[in-house]
Amino acid sequence: MLTRSELGRVVEANWDRQLQWLQSLTSFPSERGQEAACQDWIARSFSDRGWVVDRYALSDVSMEHLPGYSPAVDVDYENAIQVIGALRAPNPCGKSLILQGHVDVVPPGPSDMWTDGPYAALVRDGKLFARGACDMKAGVCAMVFALDALREAGFLPGSDVFVQTVTEEESTGNGALSTLARGYRADACLIPEPTQQNILRASLGVMWFRLSVRGTPAHVAESEQGTSAILSTFHLINALEEFTLQLNERVQRHPWFSKLSSPIKFNPGKIRGGDWASSTPAWCELDCRIAVLPGLSLDAFRQEITEVVNKAAANDPFLANTPPQIIWNGFQAEDYVLEPGTDFETAMRNAHAAVTGQPAKEILFTGVTDCRFYGRYYGIPALCYGAKGSQIHGFDEHVDLDSVRQTTMVIADFVQRWCGLRRI
């Protein structure tokens, strides 16, 4: 087994190349529906390493019948490219592994509100700034260069490793699901999301839905003769915020998520409506995100949301006769918990301790990760462990480069513990 100093030496020797790779990766504006160029670049990078590459589009895979599938949101899956690099061991001597990361990023917002622009990928004060630098292209970089470090030291993993870069993590998770539908399996899955170098044990489920609300148009000079779909929508928002307070009271009975303060988050994230500034708006659409109460089925949770919306609509003079439509699109995701005691977690903790000299801490997440697909539906234990950073989904998102270097070492050490090593 390679020692900490040996791993540190090979990671450091590759560091300039690794940083350049990360800067190239984060310079791609791989927003939803625009990830293909980034994925093609990754596919070439994997092929250059001698890995067997499987590049495919989500439209090539049948997933609608599978547990965990979420309905797509306003995107063409023919351009949603996924990439898998396979390192096969002819005579496995350890356990197999999936290393998975997503390359899709959320929209950056107004570019002029970034110090250097969202895709400048500049380094300042030991940090790399770019949309997706922290969430989670630094993790993708760390998992790739962890394997490079082992190779630099003269070794390959002793068992099969599948390096996966997926899309749709920020909206449905269907990228991760597609890899399983395509038949890829392993004894564990490590996803280097930015956990501040903590072990992410559990994440909540998330549900997206769109409220489609109607109104009656009228000239604003006679607004009392019309109704405002936008104002009616805010009435529904208030009802859902009150529902969220009730959910946070109910979650206090959960063995894991009760440890968090107000873990159920509701966000009215995107609104559009109306046709003319001098007409009362005849329509409004609101895209919402809410955490799913753990332990409740998705069907039961959808029914509760429907009841909240219908009750609020019944108290609105116009909506009572013209009820809003609820469209379930995007995330329909259940919670996931990796229970303590797995050999997988033990190996991850040992790798962290060996590299950092400190015991690993664990965290719970009020958002969602792709871990649920592997652990909840396919019996593959999964956890997240990744670098430190800040401003995820915000302006001037950045990742701490020292933590990227250290995370690369931790993943390399974990791979040798979990998969074993074979000499080149």
pLDDT tens readout for residues 328-371: 999 999 999 999 999 999 999 999 999 999 999 999 999 999 99
Task: List, for residues 396-406, the tens digit of each pLDDT value.
Answer: 999 999 999 99
Q: How far apart are CA 411 and CA 403, in angstroms?
A: 12
* Confidence at residue 221, expressed as pLDDT on a 0 to 100 scale: 86
For residue 129, the cross-strand partners are 122, 398
In this predicted structure, the answer to whether residue 298 has a pLDDT above a threshold of 90 is yes
* Confidence at residue 179, expressed as pLDDT on a 0 to 100 scale: 98
In this predicted structure, the answer to whether residue 395 has a pLDDT above a threshold of 90 is yes
Secondary-structure class of domain 4-203+335-423 per CATH: alpha beta
- The boundaries of every CATH 3.40.630.10 domain in the chain are 4-203+335-423
Which whole number is the average pLDDT over 61-75? 93
In this predicted structure, the answer to whether residue 222 has a pLDDT above a threshold of 90 is no
Which whole number is the average pLDDT over 262-286? 96
In this predicted structure, the answer to whether residue 318 has a pLDDT above a threshold of 90 is no
* Confidence at residue 307, expressed as pLDDT on a 0 to 100 scale: 98
Provide the 3-class DSSP secondary structure of residue 306.
helix
Which whole number is the average pLDDT over 285-313? 97
* Confidence at residue 368, expressed as pLDDT on a 0 to 100 scale: 96
* Confidence at residue 94, expressed as pLDDT on a 0 to 100 scale: 95
Which tokens in the block code for residue 38? 């980034």
- Nearby residues of 273 by Cβ (< 8 Å), 6 or more positions away: 213, 229, 230, 233, 281, 283, 284, 285
- The boundaries of every CATH 3.30.70.360 domain in the chain are 205-327
* Confidence at residue 74, expressed as pLDDT on a 0 to 100 scale: 82
Which tokens in the block code for residue 107? 């929209």
Write down the CATH number for the domain with range 205-327: 3.30.70.360
Which whole number is the average pLDDT over 232-245? 97
Q: Half-sphere exposure (CA, 13 Å, Cβ side) for 110?
A: 2
* Confidence at residue 316, expressed as pLDDT on a 0 to 100 scale: 86
Round the average pLDDT of the chain to a whole number and report it: 96
Which whole number is the average pLDDT over 412-421? 98
Dihedral pair phi/psi, residue 321, rounded to 5° = -100, -15
Which tokens in the block code for residue 56? 């495919």
**Residue 312 CA: distances (Å) to CA of 47, 227, 282, 308, 320:** 55, 16, 19, 6, 9
* Confidence at residue 73, expressed as pLDDT on a 0 to 100 scale: 86
Kindly report which listed range (19-23, 28-32, 224-228) carries the lowest average pLDDT score: 224-228
In this predicted structure, the answer to whether residue 321 has a pLDDT above a threshold of 90 is no
In this predicted structure, the answer to whether residue 223 has a pLDDT above a threshold of 90 is no
- Nearby residues of 170 by Cβ (< 8 Å), 6 or more positions away: 32, 102, 104, 105, 106
In this predicted structure, the answer to whether residue 226 has a pLDDT above a threshold of 90 is no
Task: List, for residues 371-382, the tens digit of each pLDDT value.
Answer: 999 999 999 999
Strand pairing category for 161-166 and 97-102: parallel
* Confidence at residue 236, expressed as pLDDT on a 0 to 100 scale: 97
* Confidence at residue 107, expressed as pLDDT on a 0 to 100 scale: 97
Which tokens in the block code for residue 174? 């269907």
Task: List, for residues 130-154, the tens digit of each pLDDT value.
Answer: 999 999 999 999 999 999 999 999 9
